[in-house]
Structure 1
Amino acid sequence: MDFKPLVTLLAIVNPLAIVPFFIHYTQDFTREQRRRTIWISSFSTFVVITTSALMGLHILDFFSISLASFQVGGGMLLLTSSLAMLNAQPAEAKSNEEEMHDASVRASIAVVPLTIPLLAGPATMSTVVIYAEKAKTFWQMSTLVGYGLVIALATALCFSLAQPIARGLGKTGINVMTRLMGLILAALAVEVMSDGLIKLFPILGR
């Protein structure tokens, strides 16, 4: 069984790095409201990953985009995300504080901004589409969807333990964890880009 998609998704989603955002947005919530936010954000993350896995390739076909081009573009996006993580910032390209505040007013906190773009943004979606193309059998696709469930459970666990995690790790600990995940993600991003470049320019593979 290939665990590379799971490792990549964990590095990109990195729910541990989103714990401070969760604490910030839910600080005035009741226990029930916080529990509901955890459930909705986790389920929404699973839905985004599953939809990308099952429908992503069809969307590419609709726009006449080759997977190789998407791999190069997605790899660049992953590399950008990894550089942000190496600076101890969350994995996805985040909106500024004012935009995030407006989004939280317009929509549910659990979906926007916690799920999109903090947990499952463009880098997550592109990564799932790339791995979905490699899934040749029903079992492999089911495994990819199952990884989405694992990510959702990891998100729920991190958010449920948000207060103890924040106290235990502190800001420094969370920053160190984010940097380590960023280093792993950078290596995976280079591999995704190289695979796409070889498909676009076969001479590179000789």
Structure 2
Amino acid sequence: METSSFTSAIILLILVTDPLGNIPLFIGLLRQVDPARRRRIIIREVFFAFLLLLFFLLCGQKVLDLMHLTDTSLGIAGGVILFLIALKMVFPHPEGSFGHQVHGEPFLVPLAIPFIAGPSAIATVLLLVSREPNRMWEWIAALTVAMLVSAVVLGFAEKIADFLGEQVTMAFERLMGLILTAIAIEMLLAGIQKFIHQIGHG
């Protein structure tokens, strides 16, 4: 995945933020919250996640330069992280990805971070901007669309869960996990190939 189209960037960001897979997590964590406040909390948490990912999108290249990291190492690391996240989607833990409960109204953690803006999402935006920084406005637009999709899906989480049912939701989750696995392997192989090429010309 040396280059990404606008559409593929949106799809990738939706996959790594995983709004459909987050439905049962959000329902469980917001069960104790007043139903009138749930949608506002979801919008707030999605907005926080958007701001965090936007920060890494805008300042990610400076962070990489400061830490002397190349897009090759980032591609390999991002591929590994995406692969691990994809495995959790294909083989979900019965208690959720992080296996803990939050009492009271959640704020920032764990809904915005790491359920939406997790390591895989951060690695993805860093990878996009490090490979093609001249397309910054496209990546911002793609991130905005992906976050809007998350907000809509999670805002109607209970209705979607009731309509689809647990089995169908789990099937979609695993299907997205399989797609993300293929993307992760492609990123990993591309990073390894570029690393070998650099060694050969070093």
TM range (shorter): 0.7 to 0.9
Deviation sequence 1:146-200 (CA, Å, 0-9, x none) = 1111122111111221111111112111110111111111111111112211221
Match for residue 96 of structure 1? Answer: 99
Match for residue 131 of structure 1? Answer: 128
Task: Give me the whole-angstrom Cα distance separating, in 2, the residues matched to 1:183 and 1:36.
Answer: 32
Corresponding residue pairs, total: 195
Is the CA contact (8 Å cut-off) linking 2:72 and 2:194 kept in structure 1? yes
1:158 aligns with 2:162: no
Q: How far 1:12 sits from its partner (Å)?
A: 1.2
Deviation sequence 1:20-43 (CA, Å, 0-9, x none) = 111112123224421220111121
Q: How far 1:109 sits from its partner (Å)?
A: 1.5
Task: Give me the whole-angstrom Cα distance separating, in 2, the residues matched to 1:5 and 1:16.
Answer: 18
Q: Give the secondary structure class of the aligned counterpart of 2:110.
A: helix
Q: Give the secondary structure class of the aligned counterpart of 1:95.
A: coil
Sequence identity (%):
28
Q: Normalised by the size of structure 2, how large is the TM-score?
A: 0.87
Q: How far 1:80 sits from its partner (Å)?
A: 1.0
Q: Normalised by the size of structure 1, how large is the TM-score?
A: 0.86
Q: Give the secondary structure class of the aligned counterpart of 2:6.
A: coil
Deviation sequence 1:53-105 (CA, Å, 0-9, x none) = 11112111111122211110110111111111111459xx94331xx53xx66
Match for residue 2 of structure 1? Answer: 6
Match for residue 83 of structure 1? Answer: 87
Task: Give me the whole-angstrom Cα distance separating, in 2, the residues matched to 1:67 and 1:89.
Answer: 32
Question: Structure 1 residues 149 and 49 mapped into 2: Cα distance closer, same or farther (>3 Å)?
Answer: same
Is the CA contact (8 Å cut-off) linking 1:89 and 1:178 kept in structure 2? no
Deviation sequence 1:120-149 (CA, Å, 0-9, x none) = 111110011111112242xx2111111111
Is the CA contact (8 Å cut-off) linking 1:198 and 1:204 kept in structure 2? no
Ranges of 4+ aligned residues in structure 1 off by more than 6 Å: none
Which structure 1 residue ranges, 5 or more long, are not aligned? none
Identify which of 147, 157, 166 aligns with 2:142. 147
> How do residues 40-55 of structure 1 correspond to structure 2 at under 5 angstroms?
40-55=44-59
Q: How far 1:110 sits from its partner (Å)?
A: 4.3
Q: How far 1:117 sits from its partner (Å)?
A: 0.8
Which structure 2 residue ranges, 5 or more long, are not aligned? none
Task: Give me the whole-angstrom Cα distance separating, in 2, the residues matched to 1:2 and 1:158.
Answer: 21
Match for residue 21 of structure 2? Answer: 17
Q: Give the secondary structure class of the aligned counterpart of 1:39.
A: helix
Match for residue 185 of structure 1? Answer: 180
Identify which of 163, 167, 179 aligns with 2:162. 167
Q: How far 1:9 sits from its partner (Å)?
A: 1.2
Task: Give me the whole-angstrom Cα distance separating, in 2, the residues matched to 1:193 and 1:16.
Answer: 25
Question: Structure 1 residues 130 and 113 mapped into 2: Cα distance closer, same or farther (>3 Å)?
Answer: same
Task: Give me the whole-angstrom Cα distance separating, in 2, the residues matched to 1:67 and 1:159.
Answer: 32
